[in-house]
Chains A and B, each alone.
Chain A
Amino acid sequence: MIRPVAVLGVVVVAALGSAGLAAVAAGSPRGPGVVAVHQVPVRETVVACPGLRSRTGYTDSSVAAGTPPVQGSAPSSGGTAMVRTLTENPAKSRPLIVLRAPGASGVYTGRNGEHDSVVGRAVGAMAPGFTVTQTERTVDGGGRGLATTACLPSGSDFWFVGAGTQVGQHSVLVLTNPEDASAIVDVGVYGRRGRFDSPAGTGVNVPARSRVEIPVPTLAPAQPVLALHVQVRSGRLSAAVTETDVHGFQPRGTDWIPATVEPDRALVVPGVPTVGKDRQSSVVLDVAAPRADATVDVKLITPDGTFIPLGGGQIDVRSGTVRQVNLTRALQGQPAALLVTSDTPVVVGAKVVLQRPGYFGDSMYLAATPPLLAPAVVPDNIATSDLTTRLILSAPANDVTVHLLAYDAAGHERTTDVTVASGTTTAVAVLPPTVKPGEPIKGLRYRRFGLVLTPQPGSGPLYAVRWQDEEGPRGPLVSALPLQRARLTVPVYPAAPTVVTGVLPAP
């Protein structure tokens, strides 16, 4: 005799029990799961430099290439790195630098009258971290100043903020196409009063393996500051902007304007150096709102912490315009990073002029950079008794510990750990591995050395700029090089075939 109530009890218990078992078996909510990303060393790196512009007499132009010393078990041989001039016929191009082993660096010093773009290409074991920079040091004349820039891989979208086209400002947009296919480029120009439609910047054809220079005044004349948006419609290339500022016969400095990150709502412009409290030095932040009206907040990340500058930090920028904000007084002579937040995407850059009364000054340009979460490599640094190389490190969010490796061609190495407290900026001088800290560097002979910055695991985002500051006989010579992640390894995401790509939202 079966009692129905007992059957009901059995049924309920069985259902609950099996569901419980299933729940245990299923574990956590199911899904495709996160896959471990596989990092592989880069096997090929191609970068292009905008070009040496050697001037008679006063200019030393050089291209420096290097790869960091091998760490861990990466392959130590089997590959070459070579820097060549860019010519239309690759067979005719001559190698300027040839590197054969990781850790090696090479410098090519240009000769007078040379005017070529150069292309660096590293394959195999030489590709990871292969970095090329170019430096021009002009001690006198209209183009006096120190100008450095990193050579970049080809891309399709660049922003530059800071070039001006007023009288005395000579700015040039350099488009270098190292590829085998020609590229078509549109340049969007934003000025103080809005966007310019310039035929000179529309449909610019850059033939394969060649360089095209566009004087920025042909795009938008008589503007104190501009934001340039270089969009590659087809093909790809690398772009750079340089500016030389002359006031009458008085040189006001020259430098390359680094590319800034694309429009965003939160940006960090690192590397504002120690600016003297004299009137002739200045730090000017340029904010462009390319898409919509923006209300921008600026904060300063200084060694003392993060604060809103005196006089309020809020700026309104109309859509399509660029505004300049002078931060010289607010900085009060401290190294800093500028933290820019906005309600709509903006692009930012900064121009720093260093000048002592009675001497010539020099300018340097800063840009917003992505945070440095992976090692960065600076292959060529110089130390003399007059020239100091510093790193300006900012940690806007969390404490950061950076592992610094200085090495030279002779195989000397020295490591230092630097800690940057959360919300502060630190400037540290870096020395060649052979020079002990505190020991004065004797003589003007260049001591070249390489640097590898490695943010330690657990650190927050780090922003870093290398700052070179030379006390020249006629005034300072300065230049800034924002540091970006070296292409040591790349993540290789496992690829999976599916039918839904493009048709349906992401699976």
Chain B
Amino acid sequence: MTNPAAATDGTDAHAPDAAGGTADAPVPGPVEPDQNPSDEPSFADVFAEAFAPDEPEPPRDLSGHDVQVVLVSHDGARWLPRTLAGIAAQTRPVDRVVAVDTGSTDSSVAVLTGALGDDALRQVHPDTGFAAAVHAGVGPRAASATSATRSWIWVLHDDSVPAADALERLLTAADLAPSLAVVGPKVLGWDDSRRLLEVGVTISGSGRRETGLERREMDQGQHDGQHDVLAVGSAGALIRRDVWDDLGGFDPQLPLFREDVDLGWRANLAGHRVTVVTDAVVRHVEAAARGRRAEPVDADRARLTDRRSALYVLLANKPGVWLPLVWVRLVAGSLIRAAGFLVAKAPQDAVDELRAMDVLVQLRTLRRARAARATTATVRSSSIRELFPPPGRQARQAAEAFGGTVTTLLAATAPVSDRPGDVGVVESGPLDEGSDYEPDTFGRWLALARRPVVGLVLALLVVALAAWRSLFAGGSLLGGALLPAPDGSSDLWSTYTAAWHPISLGSATPSPPYLAVLAGFATVLLGKAGWAVAWLLVLAIPLSGLLAYIALGPLGVSRRLRVWASAAYALTPALLGGIAQGRLGTAALAVTVPLIGLAAWRTLGTPSRPGTWRATATLVLLLAVAEAFTPVVWLATLALAVAAGLTWVRDLTGRLRLLAVVVGPALLLVPWSGELLRHPSLVLLEAGTTVPAPVPRPWGTLFLSPGGVGAAPVLLGVGIVVAGLAAVLRIRDSRLVPTALMVAAVGFVLALVTATVTVTPPASAVTVPTYPGPALVLTTAGLIVAALGAARNARNRLTQQSLGWRQPATVVVAGLALLAPLGLGLWWVVRGADGPLHRGDAEVLPAFVAASSRQPDRVRTLVLQPFGGRLYYSVLRADDPRLGDAELQPPASSLRPLDDLVSQVASGSGVVAATDLGRYAIKFVLLPAPVDADLERTLDSVPGLIRVANPEGSSLWQVSGDIARMRLAGADGSTVATLPAGVVDADPAVPASPGDTVVLADRATGGWRAVDAGGTALTGSVRDGWAQQFLAPTTSGTMTLTYRDPVHTATLWLQLVLVVVTVVLALPGRRRDDEGEVDVDLDAVPADSRPGLAEVT
């Protein structure tokens, strides 16, 4: 079941992958003696020569030692010749060589027999573990050894080559210090002799095999000397035979990995010294650990074995007192690591990690192992404490590993490919490592500052800040479609997750998911929701410019063109108008579109580089963010996906990816996407309130102008349109131009639709025009990319052609195109970003009204605002309107009775009594400044409304009567008593009042539950067609009212799971950990051209 020849390598091992295939490579060279090239001596000759008696005398007499080599081989024919040659070349010749082969399927057996003869070879079952194989090689306890001779076992792997003087130096050290029981060499890389692999090993608290070396540490003699260590690697370990026998040798429970650590630990506990002698050198491939060895087909994975061994060694050797703690730590550690592997998208590793935990419960095996160790241990654990890595180092390593992961992620997400030459190549791999390790920091900054992108972003930032000049301070940011942000990100989160929204008459509408995106952003910004909104709007221009610049990298156009394109994109009239109108959706879309384009490009792939599912997941995430703000993107995605699926995505995988791109974001945005299905008109709206401001005719969309307040003069956008249309002439150049034009066309059609239709959102009774800005952002992006595609080789083309109409026309188009961002930027700075967006006081309710609304009566305020022949009203609870409230309003259809009541009361006709407002828990009627004098006079004359004050230019009335959110109503509907209530839930003390009803001034839904003091559920019903009521309890006591919506909760959890899964899928995979050595197929290179091996042969 194992691969014993390669034991005891690092714990960094992971499942072998493609690299294992190298074993199948043709094996030229000296494997078969009869195939040897004539210029190379056969191994038999070399071996025979090595054993010739004329070798130089060792400086110390080591004849009193008897060294038996135990060479374990498993499919090691690639390396065995060198290994055997190395053994043969020892300056202190070995006394015996015993080779143990564990069922090799290659020519290993032949090589071994050829070199050592049949007697020296023991063939064991392929399932034999490394420890057992060594045992087979060592044989039973040697009774024949004389007391005068000290017997040693020298363990070697088939892929480890000892230097010629290795044994001599090991033995010399042992001879000098008789207390040494295990002596190990310095282990260097196989083909890079400067690379340090081991100078003794130890084990960390988590079971990690620690070498104490940095990654890729070079051997410059820094670790040289003789050190006592916990253990030495089994490759080249010289073990005293009597100690081996006393300790029982390698623990056969350890099939692979860690048996060396285990033995060293036991030897140390038994009072022996384990020492590394760095003068002795062994070169090691670490084939099993590095996945270079072809595993047996039925073998378990190296990682699983590694973890099992790690857990076993720790649990078998740790002092008993600490055992429970160790056990708990290992369980927790395994779970965390498994989660980490999941995030790093190495699910197989995670499974291995979890499967390895079976060791933790194999109590009988552990007890036996501990009992065996107890018999040999003679010293206290604490005396060898210094042989273990200090705890601080582990923490530091963990931090470094985390930092490394983050760097990797960032490197993989930021597609900084700033080379002008890489036409059509999308580089998704890690950054060029060299650039990260520039030694000269100042030089790097200087180089960075010289990049055009820096100038671009700085210029855009200056433009944005200059335009923003009047909006930096003074109250909340609001106006246009933007409602003021709440105080903190927690408010946004709770609004997003709440099942019942206590606004107006209460609503169970699913929260718009852009709240969650903003909440996440605000959480990053130390919980400041206001900052999140302001930063999104301020940074929309520079950020979209930067991202556009990055995303345009793969197009391979010159930097100047990219700078123009990014500036033109960032200063598109749609975005400028959107910011002025406080449209978060347009701003968020402008920022995400470049990334969406990049991810879409990678999802679709190119002939040379097929699309990936990782890019698909990234695209789904980005689209979900964009659609959360501007659902119209979904329509564009659908149209473009259908177009792509019908034209050039022909394969099934590609079409599946397209399907995922269409369906995925909708699934991620559940439960809100269900709301979209129910009210399809919402697709044309975007985040924020619906602003019923007039929008000019659709002609403006021809010039990318969204219209409405704050829109740039229509003609400023002409340059981009002309440049994009000119690209039509180069439509046959590449696939890029038609693709980009397709995007532009879809955007244009959607812009026309949004500029033409009016919709009635479910939360509004008024028909409002839709804003074409988001669709125009798509159009702009498409036109700009098309123009870039056409301009790629324009200079060459034009200079090659004879002078005609093309050259001057190009100059005109280029001039117009250049003017667009300049003109728009200038206009934007002059106009400023404000209006209707502004900073102002977001307090609607006078302070004392807000305070009394927080009393247990939970009374509400009716705010009136006549405009355009309509009387707009809203019902405020204790809080002023905040971001998200527009989408969360209860359906307008459910407010019809209140519409009529408000309309009649405010008319002063006397048809209805103003006190009827009390049924909606409306205690105050507010006419905010500027007060409409007619309406004020009318309200003054309405019976039942008592003017209470004139706070700051507004007018306020109080509705007479007992008013509360929750009340006890008699059979005739009159209020018997008001009941104290919370914002949503309530637990008032209710007297026994059979026949009465408890009426809640909240809309009736299935989510309300009420139980009486005895725990009996009260019968609920709908009152007046809208309000929730319950039959009053028949016994006195505390009644409990709650709102629960399990479906909503479940959907939110589902959404969380889906988002996490998509994020994990979108994260770059764990970098393959083969950075150790360049994976050179040794046998593919002539042996004499490899300097590292020259001295061996």
Enumerate chain A interface residues (CB-CB to B < 8 A). Answer: 2, 4-5, 7-8, 11-12, 15-16, 18-19, 22-23, 25-26, 29-37, 40-46, 123, 127, 153-157, 179-181, 232-236, 262, 490-507
Contacts and interface: CB of A to CB of B under 8 A. Distances in A.
Contacts, number: 240
A500 B872 contact: yes
A34 B870 CA distance: 8
A11 B725 contact: yes
B764 A502 contact: no
Given A234-B948, A497-B764, A501-B928, A7 B758 contact: no
A32 B729 contact: no
A497 B507 CA distance: 14
Nearest to B874: A501
B870 A35 contact: yes
B62 interface: no
Interface string B679-692: 00000000001011
A161 to B, nearest CB: 19
Given A8-B728, A30-B758, A501-B865, 19 more contacts: A4-B728, A15-B748, A26-B755, A32-B870, A33-B767, A35-B870, A490-B908, A492-B904, A495-B899, A495-B900, A496-B764, A497-B765, A497-B873, A499-B763, A500-B865, A502-B844, A503-B881, A504-B479, A507-B693
A443 B950 CA distance: 55
14 contacts: A4-B728, A19-B699, A22-B753, A32-B870, A43-B909, A44-B943, A493-B869, A495-B899, A497-B764, A497-B895, A500-B865, A500-B872, A502-B926, A503-B478
Contacts of B904: 40, 492
Nearest to B479: A504
A179 B767 CA distance: 40
Contacts of A495: 870-873, 898-900, 902-903, 906
Interface of B: 478-480, 483-484, 504, 689, 691-699, 701-702, 725-726, 728-732, 741, 748-749, 752-753, 755-756, 758, 763-769, 836, 842, 844, 863-876, 880-881, 885-886, 889, 892, 895, 898-900, 902-904, 906-911, 926, 928, 933, 936-938, 940-941, 943, 946-950, 960
A496 B220 CA distance: 82
Contact of A232 (B758, B885, B895, B947): B947
B763 to A, nearest CB: 8
A494 B870 contact: yes
B329 to A, nearest CB: 53
A5 B695 CA distance: 34
Contact of B907 (A33, A40, A236): A40
B946 A493 contact: no
B937 A155 contact: yes
A369 B332 CA distance: 85
A207 to B, nearest CB: 14
B870 A499 contact: no
Contacts of B946: 179, 181, 234-236
Nearest to A35: B869
A506 B929 CA distance: 11
A15 B909 CA distance: 53
B899 A497 contact: yes
B767 A493 contact: no
A498 B938 contact: no
A504 B691 CA distance: 10
Contacts of A494: 869-871, 899, 903
A236 B868 CA distance: 29
A498 B943 contact: no
Contacts of A262: 933
Given A18-B749, A502-B928, A505-B836, A496 B766 contact: yes
A399 B701 CA distance: 48
A491 B766 CA distance: 19
Contact of B702 (A16, A31, A34, A157): A16
A25 B908 CA distance: 40
Interface centre among B872, B881, B885, B902 (most CB of A within 10 A): B872
A37 B950 CA distance: 29
Nearest 5 A-B pairs (CB), nearest first?
Answer: A44-B910, A502-B844, A22-B698, A31-B694, A502-B928
Given A492-B909, A501-B873, A507-B692, A32 B749 contact: no
B701 A127 contact: no
Contact of A507 (B478, B869, B872, B950): B872
A492 B903 contact: yes
Given A4-B731, A8-B725, A234-B946, A497 B874 contact: yes
B865 A19 contact: no
Nearest to A40: B909
B923 to A, nearest CB: 14
Contacts of A7: 728, 731
Contacts of A34: 868-869
A180 B698 contact: no
Contacts of A12: 725
Given A4-B728, A233-B949, A495-B906, A15 B695 contact: no
B853 to A, nearest CB: 14
A488 to B, nearest CB: 11
A154 B694 contact: no
Nearest to B948: A234
A104 B305 CA distance: 107
Contacts of A41: 909
A136 B203 CA distance: 113
Q: Please indicate which of the listed interface residues B692, B876, B909 has the most CB atoms of chain A within 10 Å of its own CB.
A: B909
A233 B947 CA distance: 8
A45 B766 CA distance: 32
B660 to A, nearest CB: 31
A493 B906 CA distance: 8
A43 B765 contact: no
Residue picked from A43, A153, A494, A498, most chain B C-beta under 10 Å: A498
A463 B625 CA distance: 63
B701 to A, nearest CB: 6
Nearest to A44: B910
B752 A22 contact: yes
Contacts of A29: 694-697
Nearest to A182: B946
* Highest count of chain B CB atoms <10 Å: which of A234, A491, A500, A505: A500
Contacts of B872: 495-498, 500-501, 506-507
Nearest to B886: A499
Contacts of B949: 233-234
Contacts of A5: 729
A235 B947 contact: yes
Contacts of B695: 29-30
Contact of A32 (B692, B699, B911): B692
Given A12-B725, A236-B940, A26 B892 contact: no
Nearest to B754: A22
A146 to B, nearest CB: 29
Nearest to A28: B697
B810 to A, nearest CB: 14
A11 B728 contact: yes
A195 B811 CA distance: 74
A501 B864 contact: yes
B978 to A, nearest CB: 19
Contacts of B769: 30-31
A4 B504 contact: no
A46 B943 contact: yes
A490 B904 CA distance: 10
Contacts of B692: 31-32, 507
A371 to B, nearest CB: 14
Specify which of A35, A41, A156 lies most central, judged by the most chain B CB atoms within 10 Å of its CB. Answer: A156
A155 B933 CA distance: 12
Contacts of B881: 499-500, 502-503
Contacts of B480: 504
Contacts of A15: 702, 748
Contacts of A236: 940-941, 946-947
B749 A496 contact: no
Contact of A496 (B753, B899, B907): B899
